[in-house]
Each structure stands twice: as structure tokens, then as C-alpha cells.
Amino acid sequence: SKDSEHQLGYLDDAGVPQDSTTPTYAQTILYINNERWDGVPFILRAVIHFGC
């Protein structure tokens, strides 16, 4: 998101219970085991975003 753009959180959505523990963000860092990509992290992120 842009620095000047405000995003509401998952719990701010009217349809989401305030006690929800649903995961909304995941991240993993992967490395490829070969000479060309040695030491280069591949960062994968997944985010739930409604109202797109």
C-alpha cells in the first residue's frame, strides 16, 4: 500500500466477529539450491484483503 493510503484491518470489517482468530497474513522465505541463486532469498507473502 502507499504510505499516504490508510487500510482498514481485518477486524474492522463489519462482517467479521471481533473475537475472530482467522489468520490474515503469511510469509515464508525460500532459497534455491543452485549456484546462480545462492544466498538469494525468495520472499513469498499472502494477505487476505477484502473489498478490492
How many residues make up the chain in this entry? 52
User: Domain count of the chain?
Assistant: 1
pTM of the full predicted structure?
A: 0.48
Domain, as residue range, for 32: 10-47
Q: 10 and 20 in contact (C-beta within 8 Å)?
A: yes
**What are 30's strand-pairing partners?**
42
Structural domain contains residue 30: yes
In a domain, 4, yes or no: no
Does residue 52 lie within any of the structural domains?
no
- pLDDT values of the chain reduced to their tens digit, one per residue, 52 residues: 455 677 777 788 888 888 988 777 889 999 999 999 999 999 999 887 655 5
Contact 30, 41 (CB under 8 A): yes
